Amino acid sequence: MPVLPSIKMTLRNFILNLTILSSLLQFPLQANTAEVPASITPNPRMLSYSWMSLSTWYDMHAEDVALATEGSAPLVFIGDSITQGWNGEGQSLWEKYFEPLSAVNFGIGGDTTQNLLWRLKYGATENLDPKAVILLIGTNNLSFTSDNPETIAAGVIAVVDALSQSYPHAEILLMGVFPRSPNADHPHRSSIDRINGIISQLESRERITYLDITKKLAEPDGRLSKEIMPDFLHLSEEGYRRWTEAILPWVKKRVQR
């Protein structure tokens, strides 16, 4: 049986969500008239890509469910291909710093907020009761959906809500969406700035820390280098070293060896 997130929400979080959604949509909320954004609706992967088949996606989800069923991990990384990359370009850093903490990696390449919501709803929580969760999600909504920055932000907020309900004892480190595309004037950059400007407001919640490491990943003029992001999206080993450097103090305060 899947563990369904509780629909109860604290008054504080409820009011915060209404405030954020009202401001990001830039018009008053109207009951029963607005469409529910796709970004906040749990949906599984429905397409195969050259770099990942649909069956592989479901296999990876099944592996995550098995780890969640074991329920022993105190530290959870969750997100898309950039999180999955701890098992690739970031492997040496993972093995040195996070594997000794019994961390698990629930990153799956290509995931959007709606895909991650589906995974959380159908098994990627199970018996887990982690002390800390590190979340990075949202960039694929820019690539694979027609979601605008405001609805992408709403999707990230929905994921944070689901994590907060599923892992009631965990502190959550919400990463700002990483910069992408070579130059600072690329349209993706302004979209990411808008997303991050909205989701950063979640730091006012209990148990949520927001962290934007754009300045650690980009050059002083905003450009991205191939040494850090070879394809201007995914991290190199040096990129993972910089991410590790940024999050390790937060992790060590919450998860002890």
Nearest to 175 by CA among 211, 209, 206: 211
More confident residue, 8 or 210: 210
Per the structure block, which two tokens stand in for 99?
């594997």
Catalytic site includes residue 231: yes
Please check the confidence at residue 6 and state whether its pLDDT lies above 90: no
Per the structure block, which two tokens stand in for 110?
């290509």
CA diameter of the chain: 51
For the chain, give every domain's residue range: 50-254
- Given a contact cutoff of 8 angstroms between Cβ atoms, the answer to whether 158 and 137 are in contact is no
Tens digits of residue pLDDT in 116-167: 999 999 998 889 999 999 999 999 999 999 999 999 999 999 999 999 999 9
Predicted pLDDT at 23: 40
Nearest to 154 by CA among 173, 134, 137: 137
Q: Which residue carries 């148990």 as its tokens?
A: 207
Please check the confidence at residue 69 and state whether its pLDDT lies above 80: yes
Please check the confidence at residue 5 and state whether its pLDDT lies above 90: no
Please check the confidence at residue 205 and state whether its pLDDT lies above 70: yes
In whole angstroms, what is the distance from residue 112 CA to residue 108 CA?
10
* Per annotation, catalytic residue among 39, 81, 164, 236: 81
Catalytic site includes residue 61: no
- Given a contact cutoff of 8 angstroms between Cβ atoms, the answer to whether 117 and 162 are in contact is yes
Predicted pLDDT at 26: 40
83-105 mean pLDDT:
98
Q: Is 50-254 assigned to CATH 3.40.50.1110?
A: yes
In a 3-state reduction of DSSP, which class is residue 165?
helix
More confident residue, 198 or 2: 198
Predicted pLDDT at 257: 64
More confident residue, 26 or 76: 76
Radius of gyration of the chain (CA): 17
Catalytic site includes residue 111: no
Strands 104-107 and 208-211: unpaired
Please check the confidence at residue 20 and state whether its pLDDT lies above 70: no
Predicted pLDDT at 34: 56
* Per annotation, catalytic residue among 59, 143, 190, 231: 231
Predicted pLDDT at 36: 87
Angle at alpha carbon of residue 232, lines to 230 and 236, rounded to 5°: 35
39-45 mean pLDDT:
97
Please check the confidence at residue 19 and state whether its pLDDT lies above 90: no
How much is the mean pLDDT over the chain?
A: 89
